Chain A
Amino acid sequence: MTNNRLRNLPGYVYLALVLIFLYLPIALLFVLSFNDSAVMAFPLRGFTWHWYQELLGAGELWQATRNSFIVAFVSAFFATLLGAMAAFAIVRYRFRWRDSLLALSSIPLVMPSIVLGAGLLILFRSLMGFELSLGLITASHILISIPACMLIVMARLAGFSKNLEEAAMDLGATPWQTLLRVTLPISLPALLAAFLVAFTTSFDEYAMTTLITGTETTLPVYLYSMLRFPRKLPIVLALGSIIIVGTSVIIILAEWLRSADTTANKNSAVEVDR
């Protein structure tokens, strides 16, 4: 046992170093957001709430925050709905173009944001002649969130066997009863996880959104525009710290829902075996 631990030691040390590497820059943002100086310099000057207080007075910023919440909420809702419906079809049925749908739906995951954003800009502005709006940003965010939502729900649906649905129907449940009382409750954790992942994806998206932003803007785009003014950097950091805390909580929640998922799966598989 001790021998084993000794052998694992280099691995643990490396992992610890990587985690420090990953978290140190984030921690730095937090520390500097409380630093009593407009210049991003060491040594630190002292503790202040000043930058957070200044956030309260920034009207445009609240507008952008409100926009981001609306866009994230609506796009996450529809991405989860569309993704879940497609996931259900893919897991439960064989049909024509099934593989194409699967392949195509994974493309937004890896497509460079600039290409997607430029393509959408051409579609919206050049072909359709639309004014750029939050609605179009929402539609685009639905697209980039669909793959993750589909994958999360597919994993859940594939994990519990079709037998549960069949059993319900053998016992006399109608398809809709089965859907509402078996399938939906079982996939609920995955649906919530998908929603939360889509929400953070939309809330943090900058690279594609900036290309299709009109007069009204989302938070990351506004944040980036503030970087032109070095004196506002501490305010950006204060806001950034709040965003990081908020999204981290959402991500942890989503992951927890997904891992609660897999443990539930194991139990149900064992029960069916017996």
Chain B
Amino acid sequence: MSDYVNQVTHPVTNSRTTNKESAIPRSLLGSLIGPTWIWLVLFMLLPMLLMFLMTFRTEAFNWREWEFTFENYRKFIETPSYHRLLLRSVWMAFVVAALSVVAAYPVAYVVAFQAGRWRNLMIMLLIVPAMSSFLLRVLAWRIILGSSGLLSTVLLGLGIIDEAAPILLYTPTAVIITLVYVWLPFAALPIAVALNQIEPNLLEAASDLGAKPYATFLRITLPLSMPGVIAAFLFVFIPTLGEYVTPALVGGPEGVMIGNIIWDQFSRALNWPMGALLSMAMLLIVLIPAGFISLYSKISRERAGNYD
């Protein structure tokens, strides 16, 4: 009942806005948003533009001389190992994102619907590992999977293996396990937020009308939480596609991802134009699902608008 009251009274306070000036006069608007604009343009858009331009060059420095060439593109097309690597990276990012979302969904469900007064504590317990050092958490898995690490010792003790050996270390599976570990709490949060926004009335109405719990879940809870699921998926998929630290630490030669090659081009091979091209290829792959998602959310927002 109190929830209902809340829903009725809340919008009222928020919609009682007028056109009166705010505390900061409108004339200062430019100086409010200016610095952020400058930062975004100078340190994000400009580097991306430079990177794009560099894909048409063979020389990384000396921008005064300008020779326009498709040489890098030709090399990229003619090198199957790049394609294989890109495909494998996309596949690994997909697997990591899917596993993270599937593993995180029940966590989010419990946090949103069953945690009761422990909710804030649960959220805190998820946020702390999510925000603490990425590098150290990857390092922990390198130790766990190592030859005399936790997993090997436990399996040896249980008699499952005969001698101490690295378990999974330096394989793509190690990369996947480690990254799911890293991203799981990140994936849980947007799903929990989406679940939390579902009106309890809808769930009550469903059960009042005789829906079984699993039917309520499949036909109401799950579809309504999809925006959170998709956000979580992208939150994991995009950074994973560009990941190179985890493959370098636990992946071994079979676990190499496109990010490692890009890193090599910039730091070791000093072939920046090729690195730029591979980065652009990766961004393109990232943009496709991102564009698709924004279209989806636009459509679903319009649909939601129809109910108002």
Contact = CB atoms under 8 A, between A and B. Distances in A.
A169 B20 contact: yes
A65 interface: no
18 contacts: A19-B125, A22-B125, A42-B148, A82-B36, A85-B32, A93-B26, A114-B279, A119-B44, A122-B272, A123-B46, A123-B50, A139-B43, A175-B24, A207-B244, A227-B139, A247-B131, A248-B132, A251-B132
Contact of A11 (B12, B109, B238, B290): B109
Residue among B24, B114, B133 with max Cβ neighbours from chain A (10 Å): B133
B40 A183 contact: no
Interface of B: 9-10, 12-14, 16-18, 20-26, 29, 31-33, 35-37, 39-40, 43-48, 50-51, 54, 60-61, 63, 103, 106-107, 109-111, 114, 120, 122-129, 131-137, 139-141, 143-144, 146, 148-150, 153, 181, 184-185, 234-235, 238-239, 241-245, 249, 259, 262-263, 266-267, 272, 275-276, 279, 282-283, 286, 290
Contacts of A162: 17-18, 22
Contacts of B146: 40
Contact of A126 (B21, B63, B279): B63
Interface string A144-160: 00100010000000000
Contacts of B48: 115, 119
- For the residues of A in contact with B, the DSSP-based class is helix
A134 interface: no
A12 B111 CA distance: 9
B139 A40 contact: no
A175 B20 contact: no
A67 interface: no
A118 B139 contact: no
B33 A118 contact: no
A162 B114 CA distance: 34
A251 B35 contact: no
A93 B242 contact: no
B107 A14 contact: yes
A243 B35 contact: no
Contacts of A163: 13, 16-17
A86 B103 contact: no
Contacts of B40: 101, 104-105, 107, 143, 146
Contacts of A231: none
B184 A22 contact: yes
A69 interface: no
Contacts, number: 269
Scoring A12, A15, A200, A220 by chain B CB atoms within 10 A of each residue's CB, the highest score goes to A15
A264 interface: no
Contact of B239 (A110, A142, A240): A110
Contact of A166 (B18, B61, B122): B18
9 residue pairs, one from A and one from B, having the closest CB atoms: A112-B242, A119-B47, A41-B148, A25-B140, A42-B153, A86-B36, A178-B23, A11-B110, A89-B32
Interface in A247-264: 247-248, 251-252, 255, 259
B107 to A, nearest CB: 5
Interface of A: 8, 11-12, 14-15, 18-19, 21-23, 25-26, 28-29, 32, 39-43, 81-83, 85-86, 88-90, 92-93, 95, 101, 104-105, 107-108, 110-116, 118-123, 125-127, 139-140, 142-143, 146, 150, 161-163, 165-166, 168-169, 175, 178-179, 182-183, 197, 200, 204, 206-207, 211, 220, 223-224, 227, 236, 240, 243-244, 247-248, 251-252, 255, 259, 269, 272-273
A14 to B, nearest CB: 5
A150 B184 CA distance: 24
A42 B60 CA distance: 49
A42 to B, nearest CB: 4
A165 B61 contact: no
Given A15-B122, A220-B135, A227-B249, 8 more contacts: A104-B44, A107-B40, A119-B48, A122-B272, A123-B50, A161-B17, A207-B134, A252-B128
Contact of B114 (A11, A126, A244): A11
Given A204-B132, A204-B134, A110 B238 contact: yes
Given A29-B140, A119-B51, A122-B54, A165 B107 contact: no
Given A95-B29, A123-B47, A182 B125 contact: no
A25 B40 CA distance: 36
B238 A82 contact: no
Contact of B51 (A19, A22, A122, A223): A122
Given A113-B239, A122-B50, A26 B33 contact: no
Contact of B16 (A82, A140, A143, A161): A161
Given A28-B144, A29-B136, A14 B106 contact: yes
Contacts of A95: 29, 33
A244 B133 contact: yes
Contact of B44 (A81, A116, A178, A223): A116
A45 to B, nearest CB: 12
A112 B282 contact: yes
Contact of B135 (A82, A104, A139, A224): A224
A211 B266 contact: yes
A15 B242 contact: no
